[in-house]
Amino acid sequence: MRNYIFKLNILFLILFILFGYTSQSIAKEKLILVSTTSTLDSGLFDVLIPAFEKKFNCHVRVIAVGTGQAIRLAKDGNADVVLIHDRTAENKFVAEGYGLKRLDVMHNDFLIVGPKNDPAGIRSQKSEVRSQKSNDRENVLDAFKKIYATKSFFVSRGDDSGTHKAELRIWKQLQITPGGKWYIESGTGMEMTLRIVDEKNAYCLVDRATWLSHKKEIDTLQILVEGDSILYNPYSVIVVSPTKFPWANFKLAQKFADFIRSQEGQKLIKNYGVDKFGEPLFFPDVVK
């Protein structure tokens, strides 16, 4: 009899544990956030996501891809909210009815990095400006011209990401269609692209956050051009349309958009990276 009661108690204990975990998982809402590789590779989500999950007792699944792919995933109904950095694509996404509204979140800038010996001779002394208010684009355009003229290795993301599109806009301004052995398309995220740049002794366009996060691992490269307005890199959050995607978690997506634009979220963005890298990786655009 005692043995029977003991076994029954063990069974109840197992059921209690299983039921507890099941109830807990059911209680936690799920949010699918599709974002860029830079927000993940930089480590920003390591501070933003846990704070949001704790505040709203939820679980966030992050899908980090290039901006172009992020938009395609959202258009296919595989996202609740997107955080991306390509204004043209963002505005089109909203205009076509896939998203509710493009909301400013933060910004940083792009950099041109390359070998320390700078074979194309693009190094610029101008590096103090990090604002869209600057109108001097000559350093960037001149750098791309020299890379093309010398056929120095250049590694492109080649993945329809926000960084890739920013690079293509520069070539377009110069009326140059890059191609040939010197122009390498990685088809990967920014971190892996940087490693290819390092291996090939090449140049590339990189966002500041990913560069700061990984520059110690890549000691053959350095910043050669920065600060021009053409390198300004803003990020936006867009909640997907509940009309077009009724199955999306609209309420939690809206809470996420509100959170990263709130005083709490913007403070996390502002302070991230200062202790470790000596400067922030992103700059808040809503609450200064």
The predicted pLDDT at position 125 comes to 56
- Asked whether residue 185 falls in the same domain as residue 270, the answer is no
- Asked whether residue 119 falls in the same domain as residue 214, the answer is yes
Q: Which domain holds residue 117?
A: 109-232
Mean pLDDT of the chain: 88
- Asked whether residue 125 falls in the same domain as residue 54, the answer is no
The tally of domains found in the chain comes to 2
- Asked whether residue 114 falls in the same domain as residue 174, the answer is yes
CATH value at residue 98: 3.40.190.10
- Asked whether residue 212 falls in the same domain as residue 244, the answer is no
- Asked whether residue 238 falls in the same domain as residue 96, the answer is yes
Task: Provide the percentage of residues in the chain whose pLDDT is more than 70.
Answer: 86
Flag whether 125 is in a domain.
Answer: yes
The predicted pLDDT at position 206 comes to 97
Query: Quick check: 72 pLDDT over 90?
Result: yes
- Asked whether residue 222 falls in the same domain as residue 241, the answer is no
Query: Quick check: 15 pLDDT over 60?
Result: no
For the chain, where are the E strands, in sequence order?
Answer: 29-35, 58-64, 81-84, 103-115, 154-156, 183-185, 204-207, 221-225, 232-239, 283-284
The predicted pLDDT at position 152 comes to 97
Flag whether 1 is in a domain.
Answer: no
Tens-digit pLDDT profile for residues 244-281: 999 999 999 999 999 999 999 999 999 999 999 999 99
Query: Quick check: 43 pLDDT over 70?
Result: yes
Tens-digit pLDDT profile for residues 140-160: 999 999 999 999 999 999 999
Whether 261 and 85 have beta carbons less than 8 Å apart is answered as no
Burial label for 47, CB within 10 Å (0-12, 13-18, 19+), is middle
Q: If pLDDT is split at 50, 70 and 90, which confidence band does 288 have? A: confident
Whether 269 and 282 have beta carbons less than 8 Å apart is answered as yes
Whether 165 and 117 have beta carbons less than 8 Å apart is answered as no
Query: Quick check: 192 pLDDT over 80?
Result: yes
